[in-house]
Structures are given as structure tokens and as C-alpha cells.
Amino acid sequence: DTEVTQTPKHLVMGMTNKKSLKCEQHMGHRAMYWYKQKAKKPPELMFVYSYEKLSINESVPSRFSPECPNSSLLNLHLHALQPEDSALYLCASSQVTGLTDTQYFGPGTRLTVL
């Protein structure tokens, strides 16, 4: 099974709201990722967690706060977002084998900031 699940599927929030996105995988992968994808563009990496520790933060604004409570779960906490943050947020997981890393993506959360 190569399934990554994400909730919610859709989220509409105001600029003063606090919300969270959730990602879950049960493949035993020890790396988990958050990507942001704008329309007609490829995904852009935001954060990487490896063994539950933050390994990469691609200079993401602090209004996005990631959290990895355990090896299966990844959260993205959202606060005081801007309308330009509206996008599809994708979670992925992987397990490096040798020098190969195959990432499996979830279905995404479509976020709209009003």
C-alpha cells in the first residue's frame, strides 16, 4: 500500500483564522514533506522532516508552522495567512534506499484564504 492521506480535502479560512492540515502515512517511511502548488505550476518544497526532526525549511514564512508528532503523522499549522497563500498543499513521504528516494504524494488540501 502506497497511500498517503490528507485532511481536509478543502479548507476556506479568513486571514485571522487558525487552522491545521493533517497528513498520515502507514508505509513506515521516515521522511515526510510539505509542498505548495499554485495553479499551472509544479509543486514547491516547503518543509522536510526526517526521523521526526525538521531537516529543511525552504525559507517559509512563520505563519506556516509544521509539526511531526510521530513517524506517521505530519501537521501544518496555519495562522494569519494571506490571500496569496491560497494553493493546493501536498504532503509526501519516502524512504531512502541507497541513493534512491521515491516520494509518494497525498491527494492534497485545496486551501482558499479570503
Partner 1 sequence: AQSVTQLDSHVSVSEGTPVLLRCNYSSSYSPSLFWYVQHPNKGLQLLLKYTSAATLVKGINGFEAEFKKSETSFHLTKPSAHMSDAAEYFCVVSDVAGGTSYGKLTFGQGTILTVHP
Asked if 107 is part of the footprint of partner 1 (rule: CB under 8 A), the reply reads yes
The region, left, alpha or beta by phi > 0 then psi within -120 to 50, assigned to residue 108 is: left
Cα end-to-end span (Å), the chain: 37
Asked if 42 is part of the footprint of partner 1 (rule: CB under 8 A), the reply reads yes
Is residue 91 within 8 A of residue 34, CB to CB? The reply is yes
Asked if 108 is part of the footprint of partner 1 (rule: CB under 8 A), the reply reads yes
Asked if 100 is part of the footprint of partner 1 (rule: CB under 8 A), the reply reads yes
Asked if 96 is part of the footprint of partner 1 (rule: CB under 8 A), the reply reads yes
Q: Which residue among 1, 28, 40, 84 contacts partner 1 (CB under 8 A)?
A: 40
Pick 16 or 97: Cβ nearer partner 1: 97
Q: Which residues bind partner 1 (CB under 8 A)?
A: 2, 4, 6, 30-31, 33, 40-43, 45, 48, 50-51, 55-56, 88, 90, 92, 94, 96, 99-108, 110
